[in-house]
Amino acid sequence: MSTTQRLLDNIAVVLVNPKYPENIGSAARAAWNMGITRLITVANEYPDHERMTRLATHNATHLIDKMEFHENLRDALKPFSQIIGTTARKGRHRTQGNSPREIMQIILPMLKENQVAFLFGAEDRGLTNDDLKYCQLRSAIPTADFSSLNLAQAVAIHCYEIYHAVVHDPKDIQANPTIATSYEVEHMYDYMEHSLQQIHFLHDKSHEYYMRNLRQFFGRLQLQSKETKLLQSIFRQFLSYKKNDAQP
């Protein structure tokens, strides 16, 4: 296996609640054209296989056949250390996104030692704020005017930028340390959130605001596995102390 393919194998395209199986097939075709072989779909039920393969064509049918399927996004993202949410929507709770090309300059140095997921939302509404909470980065495709792109088009543009960066900018690929996986980080957040609730720091009105900002802060730090475990141990010990302190 070539070095290029080994790097591309660390990339996954994750489709969250796609409405039409045909778009999954088109996304598989776009990914395969750019050497990306890992396709994940998150939905309430498994999409119609025949409708997916119809637009995947015979070249990318094997991606549909081995496609990973999850009913829960958190479970789907467990092995990934860097997660990029793709979105054109803007709002006061959404940070400014980078272009796909800018995103690749950020993730390329870590690609050798870490798995990276690109999230794409449903055709009609994109990724929700709850989906985006798992993301360390957000990607927005610059357009001249009309900002809404077809799901398969968005996948194709990102896959092209990934392939172009891996092939043409190999000097930027370094032996960076392994970053904690989403599974490890989410467990740390669980303990953090519970601890902050115990001291009444998180109230009904401020709960979502503070947790969103804490996620953004720790996401920028690119914590390693041992660091998330250290923080988790601190929060767990804190909870144990609070429990013992509450006993008469």
pLDDT for the residue 2: 83
Domain chopping of the chain, boundaries = 3-172, 182-246
Confidence of residue 14 (pLDDT cuts 50, 70, 90): very high
The CA angle 12-158-121, to the nearest 5 degrees, is 70
pLDDT for the residue 121: 94
3-class secondary-structure state, position 175: coil
Is the pLDDT confidence value at 95 over 80? no
pLDDT for the residue 245: 62
Q: How far apart are CA 161 and CA 200, in angstroms?
A: 45
182-246: what fold? Helicase, Ruva Protein; domain 3 (1.10.8)
Per-residue pLDDT of 102-144, as tens digits, reads 999 899 988 888 999 999 999 888 999 999 999 999 999 988 7
- Alpha-helical (H) ranges within the chain are 3-8, 21-33, 49-65, 73-76, 100-107, 129-132, 151-168, 182-198, 207-221, 225-246
CATH number belonging to the domain at 3-172, selected among 3.40.50.2000, 3.40.630.30, 3.40.1280.10, 3.40.50.2300: 3.40.1280.10
Per-residue pLDDT of 185-207, as tens digits, reads 999 999 999 999 888 888 776 78
Write the secondary structure of 118-138 as one string of H (helix), E (strand) and C (coil). Answer: EEECECCCECCHHHHCCCCEE
pTM recorded for the entire structure: 0.88
